[in-house]
Structure 1
Amino acid sequence: MVQAAAALASRGGVEAMQMRTVAERAGVALGTLYRYFPSKMDLVVAVVSEEIDLLETSIERRPPSAATPAGRAVDVLMRATRGLMREPELADALIRSLIMAEVDTPFGDRMAGLLLRVSGEGLTLGSATEEQVALAGSLGSVWVHELLEMLRGRRTYEQIQRRIEIAADRLLAGFGA
């Protein structure tokens, strides 16, 4: 069901993710889809969660090798950017939906947790200080903004990489090497 939703969103944005169409594409009854995903936003959150799972798997297979916390964070964010930009319509749909979401989504916490793990050499949301969590979350927010700018055609990949490098250097300066 999640894969069917992602496929539809990649071709026509969230507007194409009509619940009936998703159910038909997934080969399930509409009631079954609603049992697992009571709303379209729940389905969007599931698609985003799957994308983050893929990113985390990539990181586990090939951890960032940069010597600095900022370098490792940039590696992760640019990998995520490359992955999302393979399907720009899906990326646009997901990012816009998350920004407009009226429900709490785990996206920010998951990205902050991932950035803490790679930047702070194993830090977690539970073991990091409030400041470290805030800084990792802020870097994730910068990335989302830059990604939106790229999707709007206002930034190139190289420009957002440079801007993320600058933000990461400043925000993660106190994390130690």
Structure 2
Amino acid sequence: MSTVNSLTLEELGSAAQRERRRRILDATIALASRGGFDAVQMREVAEQAEVALGTLYRYFPSKIHLLVSALAREFERAQAVTESKPIPGETQHERVMYVLQRTTRGLQRDPNLTEALTRAFMFADASVKNEIHVVGMLLTSMLTRAMGTRPDGGEPTEEEIAIARVIGDVWLAALVGWVTGRTSAGDVTSSMDVAVRLLLREDR
């Protein structure tokens, strides 16, 4: 497959191009919700989004690029919700777990979509590094805000960012376990509770 990157919103110069990208991602998410990873076929995405197949490939060079970009948009939506009001919790652990549990529950309500997005993330290679980076940055941003260690509103430290990244990696691994049937929804929460406490150095 091509190693060209997906076009980002910043690279789309017109409102029509941004609307086209939105329709493509909407179609992708709708198809994935109905049938999971295998249901997302580039030709069907193009037809449902009402764009030419060649246009779709200019926006997203492969199915993996497309689905990882859809995962990023799901995280953008989750981020918008968490930023719309204060995150509940007296401690870092409580706030981080609130964000993780809210996001996890949202994904688990649509198992077909979650299976598609998670499989794409697992299958992604170096050609999808920019899309993976966007996903990682969104998740890190949500978690550092939940940690809330900058009372003055300043930027998180390098250590805080590193902790948030590790928490995000553990959460994604736990989500993979749920998608593949190796763990239950409760197992995901339990694993994250232990990991977050250890990484944030909070005692039981």
TM range (shorter): 0.7 to 0.9
Shift of residue 13 of structure 1? 2.3
For 1:44-83, list aligned pairs within 5 A: 44-83=67-106
Shift of residue 158 of structure 1? 2.5
How many residue pairs match? The answer is: 172
- C-alpha distance in 2 between matches for 1:122 and 1:7: 39
Where structure 2 has 5 or more consecutive residues not aligned to the other structure, the ranges are 1-23
- C-alpha distance in 2 between matches for 1:150 and 1:42: 23
Equivalent residue for 1:168?
196
SS in structure 1 of the partner of residue 164 of structure 2: helix
Matched, 1:146 2:179: no
Shift of residue 121 of structure 1? 4.4
Equivalent residue for 2:43?
20
Equivalent residue for 1:137?
165
Matched, 1:107 2:130: no
Greater mean alpha carbon deviation, residues 136-145 or residues 41-50: 41-50
SS in structure 1 of the partner of residue 155 of structure 2: coil
Shift of residue 166 of structure 1? 1.5
Matched, 1:6 2:6: no
Runs of 4+ in 1 over 3 A off after TM superposition: none
Residues 1:67 and 1:45: Cα distance change in structure 2 (over 3 Å): same
Greater mean alpha carbon deviation, residues 134-143 or residues 154-163: 154-163
Shift of residue 152 of structure 1? 2.7
Q: Identical aligned pairs, as a percentage?
A: 41
Residues 1:129 and 1:31: Cα distance change in structure 2 (over 3 Å): same
- C-alpha distance in 1 between matches for 2:178 and 2:150: 30
Matched, 1:41 2:95: no
Judge conservation of contact 2:170–2:192 (CA < 8 Å) in 1: yes
Shift of residue 60 of structure 1? 2.0
Equivalent residue for 2:52?
29
RMSD: 2.0
Counterpart residue identity of residue 57, structure 2 = Y
Shift of residue 122 of structure 1? 5.4
- Superposition TM-score, scaled by structure 1 size: 0.87
Counterpart residue identity of residue 27, structure 2 = A
SS in structure 1 of the partner of residue 182 of structure 2: coil
- Superposition TM-score, scaled by structure 2 size: 0.76
SS in structure 1 of the partner of residue 102 of structure 2: helix
Where structure 1 has 5 or more consecutive residues not aligned to the other structure, the ranges are none
Task: Note the alpha carbon deviations across 1:138-159, whole angstroms, 9 max, x for none.
Answer: 1111111111222233333223
- C-alpha distance in 1 between matches for 2:31 and 2:185: 25
